[in-house]
Amino acid sequence: MHKVVLGALVRRDRVLLVHRSPNKRAYPNVWDLPGGIIETGESELGALTRELHEELGVEIATDSASHLCRLTARPAEEPVLLSAWLVRDWQGTPANVAPEEHDDIGWFGLDEMPPLAHLPVHTALVEKTRSST
């Protein structure tokens, strides 16, 4: 089973989302949180740090990360264990440095976010962000 980590960069009740490229095999052409597969020997936070640097060019402050949710996603024949994190502090300005992964990035208010690939992640993100402001 693949393990995947996602990160929600949040500033002033706005969330950074990436638009997944239409040629992606999994969840093409949708807005979602950035992230990717956890490599062998990596912790979730280690993978999150690496993925957000590779995709957005930022260095996250891991002590600012809090866990949102964990779920099993995709069809039963190819399940993925998905772990989502909320990140409130990072260095650098997020940019689309992985255009092969996503074709756009954007900041969205909690009430204007498009549906994410996984409803439980969307729900946990909104609840946790609102409860901590």
Place of tokens 């969205």: 108
**Which has more confidence, 99 or 1?**
99
Domains and CATH numbers, the chain: 2-131 (3.90.79.10)
Least trusted range by pLDDT, from 13-17, 19-23, 72-76, 83-87? 72-76
Q: Cα(85)–Cα(100) distance, rounded to whole angstroms?
A: 23
pLDDT (tens digit per residue) in 117-126 = 899 999 999 9
Measured between alpha carbons, how far is 120 from 106 in angstroms, rounded to an integer?
A: 21
| Lookup: tokens for 71 | 């779920």
How many whole angstroms separate alpha carbon 79 and alpha carbon 91? 33
Q: pLDDT digits over 48-105, tens only? A: 999 999 999 999 999 999 999 999 987 667 889 999 999 999 999 999 999 999 999 9
Q: Of 101, 117, 82, 108, which Cα lies nearest the Cα of 20?
A: 101
